[in-house]
Structure 1
Amino acid sequence: MMNNSGLKKKRFQAIAIISVLLLMIYGKNLTERQAFKSISRTFTEVYNDRLVVEGYIFQISDRLFSIQKLIDHCNLDYDYSRVINEIQGHEKGIMDLIIDFEKTNLTVEESDYLEDFKQIIQNDLNIKSYELLYMDSTGVNTIQVKLYDQKIALAKSDLENLSKIQMDEGQKLISKAKVQINRSQIWAQFEVALLIILIIVIYIFLFRKQPKKQDIFS
């Protein structure tokens, strides 16, 4: 037998359960929204700070290779009267790329390698006179060219390390994104479970058979 007081108590319990479930679903949606924002930021970081930077490194490497070719006099048919201007043009292009590189989110290790590379370009490969590379009387200055080649080798090593950092950091960011995506999937399953419970509670409250009057007063 269930009197009016019992019915009111049941109704209050049902409303309380439904309210809690709705609050939990709302809280889950807020959490999910933050998770998607975090995932979006992560993939933006992968693109801006890793993929774009890898493009910078490729362009810098290409210009550095061109500088080495000019220093080593690899092309016998080339007009070397303008070689200094060519080298300085490539160095300016490299420095412009470094400025863009420095604006990205650098790790401490990345910053160290980039600064070392920058110093090599600014100081060690800053060739002011063509006579440092070649003179009509003596030909190619092999000693000086070898010194420049050694500095270029150090610069290439810095670039290789910078490229490796992009791979490592990119992999970390992708792993972070995977964790966030997996967490979102778990929350999605949790929301489905809450909705099922909510439907069951509503069904019981609305559609279960109410006791007949004679049952109440019997």
Structure 2
Amino acid sequence: MPKRRTIKQRINAGFVLAAAFLLVLASNRLNNRNFSTVEHGVNSVFEDRLVVQEYIYRLNNLFHEKELFLANNALTNKSIPQYPEIKNILTDFEKTDLTVEEAQYLSNLNENYAALKTLEANQHNNDGSKEEIVSILHSISKNLDNLAEVQLSEGRQLTQQSKRSLGMNQMLSSLEIVFLVIIGILFLIIVFHKDKPDMELVEDKT
């Protein structure tokens, strides 16, 4: 009987240790997944949102310079200033991780910029050409405003997603500690528990 009881204890202890191992393994995999989500969110906020916000800021300034030029000068006096860096910024913009909505706004911006370049290259010295250019610049300004709104929306969403992942990690860590304590207690009970000795039946001798 003692030998049989010892084997049973070993089997139960093995189950408890296996449960502890699986718990730690599952928790580790979930934590790694959540940390990957947080890491991706942080990288995306910087590379695809903050950097892009700087692109939008620089583009706004450059196109605003054109608007100021048109407001203060007639096309008969000087040619509209050209900024080759605009094309470079747009190229860098296209290399970022774009959402569907953002890609559409950027496509509209590129189309308007191409139209602006055509008007500037074929500008005629009349007020009608100036009005067309101003109208295109207003459309470009609207494109940039839409792109800026996307950055705020996506940045907010990525931040909330990272916060949820961190909160999940904290909850899993707390649950892991609770379950490990419970498993530890069960393991101690199994190892040190002793069955009550069997009661021997004593027959009265007559």
TM-score of the alignment, normalized to the shorter chain, above 0.5: yes
Q: What secondary structure does 2:121 align onto?
A: coil
Query: What's the CA shift string for 1:70-129, capped at 9, x where partnerless?
Result: 22226x9xxx65x44xx22x2x21111010100011122211211111122222244136
Partner of 2:176: 191
Query: What's the CA shift string for 1:112-163, capped at 9, x where partnerless?
Result: 211111122222244136x735xxxxxxx43322221111111100100111
Structure 1 residue 8: Cα displacement: 2.1
Query: What's the CA shift string for 1:158-214, capped at 9, x where partnerless?
Result: 1001111111111221222222222222211221122212321333245x36569xx
> Is the aligned partner of 1:178 residue 2:145?
no
CA distance, structure 2, for counterparts of residue 161 and residue 51 of structure 1: 15
Partner of 1:47: 46
1:114 to 101, 106, 112: 106
- Among the aligned pairs, what percent are the same residue? 23
Partner of 1:154: 139
- Give the aligned residue type for 1:118: N
Q: Which residues in structure 2 correspond to 1:124-135 (within 5 Å)?
A: 124-126=116-118, 127-128=120-121, 132=124
Partner of 1:100: 92
CA distance, structure 2, for counterparts of residue 189 and residue 154 of structure 1: 53
Q: What secondary structure does 1:27 align onto?
A: helix
The two structures, once aligned, show a CA RMSD in angstroms of 2.5
Report if the CA contact (8 A) 2:12-2:190 is conserved. no
Unmatched tracts of structure 2, length 5 or more = 201-206
Partner of 1:138: none
The count of corresponding residues between Structure 1 and Structure 2 is 197
Unmatched tracts of structure 1, length 5 or more = 134-140
Task: Give TM-score scaled by structure 2 length.
Answer: 0.83
CA distance, structure 1, for counterparts of residue 22 and residue 99 of structure 2: 41
Report if the CA contact (8 A) 1:18-1:201 is conserved. no
Report if the CA contact (8 A) 1:28-1:187 is conserved. yes
- Give the aligned residue type for 1:132: H
